[in-house]
Chains A and B, each alone.
Chain A
Amino acid sequence: MSVPALATRGLAKKFGSLVVASDIEIVLPKGVRYALIGPNGAGKTTLINLITGMLRPDAGQILLDDADITVLPPDQRVRRGLVRTYQINSLFPYLTALESVTLAICERSRAARTWWRQLPAYRHEIDEAYEILVALTLAPVCNRPTRELAYGQQRLLEIALALATRPKVLLLDEPAAGVPREESKELFAAIAGLSQDITVLFIEHDMELVFRFASRVIVMVGGRVLVEGTPHEIATDPRVRAVYLGKATARTVRDQRHG
């Protein structure tokens, strides 16, 4: 069996007496598209924060490509290819889209440490940034400050920033949050079009999108992994139905998100 791209062993975290993660064991094989679902407060974002090092776990291990990264600072995890996006846009409001993505690439290539050469001299970095923006349909607005971009474009820029780091494992925290339904399909199409070398885990409430774009699904409840399986297995699992108030149709799950 090949080495998984990402695995956690017995990951646990408490805030005071509140258990937000308990004995979480997940194994993501290379190139697989995973969906992470669960009701609000299930600990989905917390899990991403733990894996990416934004939070320190109380116990457990995180393995990236079989290397223990549990104590590595966040920026070094990114350098090793473990990258996330944010649920709420967390961008650079006064940098243009091109500058933002170029910055991420310069950090990867370590060009961001040099202060004696001017930015336009870094043609490769700029070209690569522009190509990423072209691929995500952001080329026409690439010279606009981020804060002037439409919301959906900002969501795409989130993904562009993540891609600029050349991820091996990409953790997407509700990539389509707040994006109209039609646009969210386009956004997921962009995600589905990513290289098959990239392992993707995304948090998403819309079951239709989950079924369409995930090959496997992890369900979390109360800081624990309830069950893991194919979308079909998950849809027919009685425990999952029970979690979603006993009437887990795609519609109610979607309504819950907006309600």
Chain B
Amino acid sequence: MALAEKLISPQAYLRSQTRWRPAEIVFWAAALSPYFLFPNYLSLASQIAVSALFALSLDLILGYAGIVSLGHAAFFGIGAYTAGLLSKYGWGEPLSGLALAALAAGIVGYATSFVICRFRHLALIMLTTGFGLLLAELANSAGWLTGGMDGLQGIHTWNLLGYFHFDLYGRTAYGYALAVLFVLFLLARRIIHSPFGLALRGIRENLTRMPAIGAPSLAHMRTIYAIAAAIAGVAGAILAQTTETVSLDSLGFERSAEVVVMLVLGGAGRLYGGLVGAAIFMIARDRFSGVEPQYWYFWIGILLVAVVIFLPNGILGGLAKLTARWSRS
């Protein structure tokens, strides 16, 4: 009896898992700091927010459902071109642009999920890669629509909420990107703490066991794949709207590979991994490419190798281990 009383009730335990931790509040407060500390770097900060959102969308499928994709930029690109084309042909309102970009990417994501979610491991990586290459080449050949190699020109984004002008310094851009990132982060957080999120973790842990508890794993995977695609589409749309251009590399293989690197650096399957990884990656690129424009990938390579060898769960995984050890002693 005494023992039973000491045990935390099952609901209370599960609730404690969903609670906001102090570190999370610090993280989001720090995300506002560029306005005060680095006002000259707001354009970079908004690109970091875009990459963070993109990495977050990958984390939902890779980190939670175990779907490894090397073609995730396809959805980023679809979102970017959707928002860009809308704006070019007369509708530059940013928020509805985001919604339509999410819709377009989500529909393509859901349609392709019927094929992609049936495969695992190498076949899955090759399929997503192939799909990404296919779409990139389509965009390249459809120069009349996408502008091809020259990129999509003539985008003009209207004032945000009819009031905030997208200025040259990225003040509006960063606020916009950060706000969207935060809202969609809340959504992602809600998803992973829902029963559906629990099912995703089940899929990651033991896919073959899922049917034996009556779980329609394929349906779950299709749902999260479509959601992740839609979020990736929003990330692409923000980039298009804030830079007022879309280039082919928005859906290129390199972008797909980079987002995987960001997520692995930060730590997959913990929501913040993609955000931290994106910040490190983008800041490193900014610093190193200033010093060595040709060879900056060298340093990213070293960082990646070091993280994978010494911190197999990414930087956040390493930090979590460290704090666990620290709080025990």
Contact = CB atoms under 8 A, between A and B. Distances in A.
Given A104-B213, A113-B196, 17 more contacts: A75-B211, A76-B214, A91-B206, A91-B209, A92-B205, A94-B205, A98-B14, A100-B202, A107-B216, A108-B214, A112-B195, A112-B198, A115-B223, A116-B194, A119-B14, A119-B18, A125-B195
30 contacts: A52-B212, A75-B214, A75-B215, A76-B214, A83-B212, A92-B206, A98-B14, A100-B202, A102-B195, A102-B198, A103-B215, A104-B214, A106-B195, A107-B199, A111-B195, A112-B199, A113-B195, A114-B194, A114-B195, A115-B195, A115-B197, A115-B223, A116-B190, A117-B194, A118-B194, A119-B17, A119-B197, A130-B10, A143-B10, A164-B213
Interface in A159-178: 161, 164-165
Interface of B is mostly: helix
Interface residues of B, number: 38
A118 B211 contact: no
Contacts of B206: 90-93
B325 interface: no
B65 to A, nearest CB: 12
Interface residues of A, number: 51
A78 interface: yes
A129 interface: yes
A110 to B, nearest CB: 9
Interface in A102-159: 102-104, 106-108, 111-120, 122-123, 125-127, 129-130, 139-140, 142-143
A251 to B, nearest CB: 34
Interface string B185-208: 000001101111111011001101
A206 interface: no
A73 interface: yes
Interface string B1-40: 0011001101101110110000000000000000000000
Contacts of A34: none
A106 B201 contact: no
B196 A94 contact: no
B195 A119 contact: yes
A126 B209 contact: no
B190 A118 contact: yes
A116 B17 CA distance: 16
Interface in B202-244: 202, 205-206, 208-217, 219-220, 223, 227
Given A119-B18, A120-B11, A126-B11, A165 B198 contact: no
Contact of B15 (A84, A100, A120): A120
Nearest to A115: B196
